[in-house]
Amino acid sequence: MNRFNKSLIPSLLTLLLAAASVVAQPETPARVIEISAKKFEFTPNVVTLKKDEPVTIHFTSTDRAHGLLVKEFKIDLDADVGKPADVTVTPHEAGSFAAICDHYCGSGHGNMKMTFVVE
Amino acid sequence: MAKPFDRRSFMRLSAASLGAGALLRFMPFGSTANGMTLGNLLGSRNGEAPGPFSIVQLSDTHVGFQGPPDPLGTKAFERAVDAVNALNPQPDLILFTGDLTHDSEDPAEHAKRFAAFKAISGRLRVKKQMHVPGEHDAALDGGTLFREHFGETHYSFDHRGVHFVALDNVSAGKPIVGAEQIAWLKKDLARFPKTAPIVVFTHRPLFDLKPEWEWFTSDGDEVMNVLAPYDAVTVLYGHIHRLNHSTIGKSQHYAARSLIFAFPEPPAASTAEKKPLPFDKTQPFRNLGIREITGNSTRHTLSVNDVELTSRELSGTEGVQQILKTGDFL
């Protein structure tokens, strides 16, 4: 009995380690899209995404508070100098979608926008 | 303290836009069955058809704005003041629905623009003038300058049986009313029965009119949930520089024309560019017109009739060169 148990120990350990590795295996990280804002423009001003692919938007500002709003994807971020913001989203609809700065930043604010293209 | 309303005190509302804004006439039930017609309105300017209660809404004067697409500066605002001063009888009060000034990064320059706004609005014969800020007035400084000139950015008052609520959806920097103001609104309205006539005036639309052009308020749904139980809610706003009438639930939402360049009907495409209508030198005040709104006395709803003026006095059909001769632009 003892001998039988001892012979099983390496196999059990292997199984446990294998199971642990499955549990601990991190999910594939979402592709990160960097978007930077300054008065009165986003860089880049066109971003192409793939339908049903999760992406993380990393939003930064180089001058003052700005917003990044895309209602269709529920992206609503605010960034200020030294205060970036992130969100992970998965677009499920193909097309072109406008993103705007929704944090008033001065006289050119009304035309501060960019485009998300989902293919 | 305001007296509570009952159903008998319901107002019938008719309104007419002067292009420069909107003239609203509140008529008690049981008065003239057909409400105020355009003829009545024009007649009233000669003292022929006085209404029991009217207000004027002026919006988006942008004092301090210079350059294309509209070289008129404050000329349309000044013309609107003259037109309102010519009304007979005079309206009881004037509502300004934001963007009184065009912003400046320099607070001293912006303060001058507030002073210039007050110099022109001070020429109005009607001295009861109420204001809400637009983003050009209050978004860069959180409303500090606005408060110095006009007091709080949200408040309420009663006038002849109508409860008026001023809402601020700009000074947080984003198109938002905010939880604190919504809680205040709930408390403010709690003392009224559901039949109370309520006029909300604010700058941005409280619904998703064109979010990609920032024609929305992000928590507008929450505001409308607070207003939803009330049977007679009218929301007056500006911001979009064009006429619009929308019905949200039982409430009626009216945008007034601006007193500076106009925007077109927004195309459906999300990415459509936001561009003002081109300035027409032959008709510098082309977007002036009269919008007549007559209330339905049984259902408390409003019907709208937009009429473009041909009157030289109000429409400004003279050429821009003639206007240029009348004074300097800002």
- Is A103 within 8 Å of B173 when comparing Cβ atoms? yes
| C-beta atoms surrounding B154 within 10 Å | 21
* pLDDT over 80 (residue B294): no
pLDDT score for B282: 77
Domain boundaries A31-118, corresponding CATH code: 2.60.40.420
pLDDT score for B318: 45
d(CA B302, CA B12): 8
pLDDT score for B85: 87
Q: Is residue B198 part of a domain?
A: yes
To the nearest whole Å, the CA of A60 is away from the closest chain B CA by 17
What residue segments make up the domains of chain A, in order of their start? 31-118
Per-residue pLDDT tens over the stretch B262-290: 899 998 888 888 889 888 877 777 764 33
Q: Is residue B272 part of a domain?
A: no
pLDDT score for B314: 43
Per-residue pLDDT tens over the stretch B120-132: 999 999 999 999 9
Per-residue pLDDT tens over the stretch B167-219: 999 999 999 999 999 999 999 999 888 988 888 999 999 999 999 999 999 99
d(CA B47, CA B90): 10
Count how many domains chain B has: 1
The band of B11, judged by pLDDT with boundaries at 50, 70 and 90, is very low
Calculate helix-pair angle for B179-189, B220-227, nearest 10 degrees.
10
Domain residue limits at B142: 13-264+278-325
Q: Is residue B67 part of a domain?
A: yes
Q: ipTM of the predicted structure?
A: 0.76
pLDDT score for A87: 97
- Is B218 within 8 Å of A102 when comparing Cβ atoms? yes
Mutate to test the interface with B, among A45, A104, A115, A117 (most CBs of B within 10 A): A104
Say whether residue B38 is in contact with chain A using an 8 A CB cutoff: no
Of B56-60, B134-138, B230-234, B304-308, highest mean pLDDT = B134-138
A3-13 exposure pattern, b = at least 16 Cβ within 10 A, e = fewer: eeeeeeeeeee
Say whether residue B109 is in contact with chain A using an 8 A CB cutoff: no
d(CA B80, CA B86): 10
Query: Residue B17 belongs to a domain with what CATH number?
Result: 3.60.21.10
d(CA B240, CA B237): 9
Per-residue pLDDT tens over the stretch A63-80: 999 999 998 888 999 999
Whole-angstrom CA distances from B42 to B167, B290, B318 are 31, 10, 21
Q: Is residue B5 part of a domain?
A: no
